[in-house]
Amino acid sequence: MAEPKQENDFLDDIEALEDELFGDEPIDIMSEEASEGPSKPASKASESEMAALRAERDELKDRVMRVLAEAENSRKRSERDRKEAENYGGSKLARDMLPVYDNLNRAIEAVPEESREANKALIEGVELTLRELLNIFSKHGIERVSPELGEKFDPKQHQAMFEAPVPGTQAGDIIQVMAEGFMIHDRLLRPAQVGVSSTPKS
């Protein structure tokens, strides 16, 4: 018959069971309570960290918005520069070609009426060259400024080469066209060279 367990044996069994269930480290009730809710100093620290994070977020957002705005402005500038180059990039070459137009025009006008029939083929060749040059000008947005006699002088499109009093005209009337002007798109490439009446008002 087995002997009844002594009191010490029961205590040993209880300690062994506690070790098995909870391990060797003792349970700290105070630390568990602390984990359930932050203390006031810890709460203040969290609020301070949140405020710093919000400030950093706002600063980064501001930087991103500035970068996006700069990128959009840069895109618009590039588009404007591209259009400028496309429309007006050939201005210098076009301006240098204008004397060719003038000389072809003068060559046709210089042929006397009595010689036109004899030189018909030559004149037609020059006129064909002149028309082709004007077609090329038109293709690149270059158009003539051809004022009529009696038209009012416009300083935005005309250049006064001389003034003279002419009966039957008013001051500022165009009395002679010496050379046609040209526009490239909406810009003046060369003003029309004209003579202007200086006849005073009666």
pLDDT value, residue 25: 53
- Burial class, 125, CB count within 10 angstroms (exposed 0-12 / middle 13-18 / buried 19+): exposed
> Own/partner pairs for 68-75, CB < 8 Å, 24+ apart?
none
Tokens of 19: 């070790």
Q: What's the rounded Cα separation, in Å, for the pair 152 and 146? A: 12
Question: CB within 8 A of 200, min separation 6: which ones?
Answer: 165, 171
Q: Which long-range contacts (CB under 8 A, 24 or more apart) does 190-193 make?
A: 190/95, 190/98, 191/145, 191/157, 191/158, 191/159, 192/145, 192/146, 192/147, 192/157, 192/158, 192/159, 193/158, 193/159, 193/161
What predicted TM-score, i.e. pTM, was given to this entire model? Answer: 0.62
Specify the pLDDT at position 33: 45
**Structural domains in the chain?**
91-197 (2.30.22.10)
Q: What is the pLDDT along the chain (202 residues), one digit of tens a residue?
A: 455 555 566 566 666 655 655 555 554 544 444 445 455 555 777 888 888 898 999 999 999 999 999 999 999 999 999 988 888 888 999 999 999 999 999 999 888 888 888 888 999 999 999 999 999 999 999 999 999 999 999 999 999 999 999 998 899 999 999 999 999 999 999 999 999 999 876 5
3-class DSSP assignment, residue 107: helix
DSSP-derived secondary structure letter, 12 = H
Are 182 and 189 in contact, with CB atoms under 8 Å apart?
Answer: yes
How confident is the model at residue 8, as a pLDDT?
Answer: 60
